[in-house]
Structure 1
């Protein structure tokens, strides 16, 4: 199940655009808004923001290590990551916003240099990807956590090639999960993926961006059509 390719510069630009959209949402949050729960068990909006900050900082460290030929592992112990997020989530809303902005900006400046870099990187989920896919991984994280922060949103606007690329990237991660459901995804943009699972296969058709949200978060949009095979 190869990852579909989109122009690298387009993916990097999409990270910038959707990070800006996320920051445009969170800048209006009050401290009470930050304390609101999300659909992620046990996580408030502050935890989601802390997770994004922590992820950006770890990616920055990994990218810096590429040039120094040090370890390129982003994967950390679950307890260590949980402690880091819990500490960051205690910050005020203003401090969270500043940390989101500054960590994202620093990371964004480093992404263009990854074009064509095939150095293996172990993500914090334990998957190994080439370094050039780091922007794709970050884009998926920003898109999904934007949805977590704004539970009313059900649609993401992405260029077709970029939407297919980030969907294919997430499909590869989904295929490695234990006890996954059996799915066939048919994107309007011409991408199809089959993943065997533990139950009868469901086919879902629609735009690639909508399929991404359904696969990762179970978010249904009116543009999706589901049927059992």
Structure 2
């Protein structure tokens, strides 16, 4: 995809945060307890994770501005799990307050950066501030879809889908080359193995599948050597703790 500027990325982040806030505004305490497709997670877990990621991104940038590196999650992976479980059972009002503060913290520090500061090093995947902001965009958009509040993968923009496919190309197993055939768009290839598999369908369905979410349009078809096959099993999602 055509790389978006830092200012454009900031616009996308603000829009994604607004979407989260709007959808959260209509939730009741009972809605918070509803299960999601993420194993063992209720909506409350997803909302707690969104807030925790917001604070994690803000912390990365705040330390970067001081010339310091800090773990992405306070307390590492264990701290992440503990924080999510601690806040998952909050009331709807408590979730709204917690997420509002976390979104404001992250967006404020990112919005105050000059161009050079977007390239400051952070610990997230041994990257720079821009990498953390891109991760934040992914988290806000994808986890809003996980809440099942009318902003599913079918609403993802072409720009977001193309970016997500590029980022998640590392999920293609060794030995497989995926030829992606999104409807009404040019084909693209991810992976470099000798075994070619073609996956056709709506761009949003392809992006949803690569992100481990259920395609909502039901359009995906996989073929190998002109025969219908099952969609390949993908590798794990890239870890926040992995190198770039």
Give the match for residue 105 of structure 1.
Answer: 104
Aligned pair 1:216/2:211, yes or no? yes
Q: Does the Cα contact within 8 Å between 1:156 and 1:210 map onto a contact in 2?
A: no
Closer/same/farther in 2, CA of residues 57 and 181 from structure 1, 3 Å limit = farther
Q: Does the Cα contact within 8 Å between 2:48 and 2:95 map onto a contact in 1?
A: yes
Give the match for residue 137 of structure 1.
Answer: 135
Aligned equivalents of 2:2, 2:128: Cα separation in 1? 14
Please, what TM-score do these two structures have when normalized by structure 2? 0.76
Q: Kindly report the root-mean-square deviation, in angstroms, between the aligned alpha carbons of the 2 structures.
A: 3.0
Q: Does the Cα contact within 8 Å between 2:202 and 2:220 map onto a contact in 1?
A: yes
Give the match for residue 122 of structure 2.
Answer: 121
Q: Secondary structure at the match of 1:184?
A: strand
Aligned equivalents of 1:92, 1:150: Cα separation in 2? 18
Q: Give CA-to-partner distance per residue, 1:175-198, whole Å, 9 cap, x none.
A: 5xx79986433455557241368x
Deviation at 1:14, TM superposition (A): 1.3
Closer/same/farther in 2, CA of residues 9 and 39 from structure 1, 3 Å limit = same
Structure 2 stretches lacking a partner, 5+ long: 225-244
Closer/same/farther in 2, CA of residues 86 and 54 from structure 1, 3 Å limit = same
Q: Secondary structure at the match of 1:228?
A: strand
Give the match for residue 90 of structure 1.
Answer: 89
Q: Alignment length, in residue pairs?
A: 219
Give the match for residue 36 of structure 1.
Answer: 34
Q: Give CA-to-partner distance per residue, 1:113-158, whole Å, 9 cap, x none.
A: 16453334333xxx33322122221111111111110166341242
- Trace 1:1-229 onto structure 2 (pairs within 5 A): 5-74=3-72, 77-112=76-111, 113=113, 115-116=115-116, 117-123=118-124, 127-150=125-148, 153-158=152-157, 160-172=158-170, 174=171, 183-187=178-182, 190=186, 192-195=188-191, 201-207=197-203, 209-222=204-217, 224-229=219-224
Aligned equivalents of 2:114, 2:50: Cα separation in 1? 20
Aligned equivalents of 1:149, 1:115: Cα separation in 2? 34
Closer/same/farther in 2, CA of residues 71 and 96 from structure 1, 3 Å limit = same
Higher RCO, 1 vs 2 (CA within 8 Å, ≥6 residues apart): 1
Please, what TM-score do these two structures have when normalized by structure 1? 0.80
Aligned equivalents of 1:88, 1:53: Cα separation in 2? 9
Q: Secondary structure at the match of 1:104?
A: helix
Q: Which has the larger radius of gyration?
A: 2
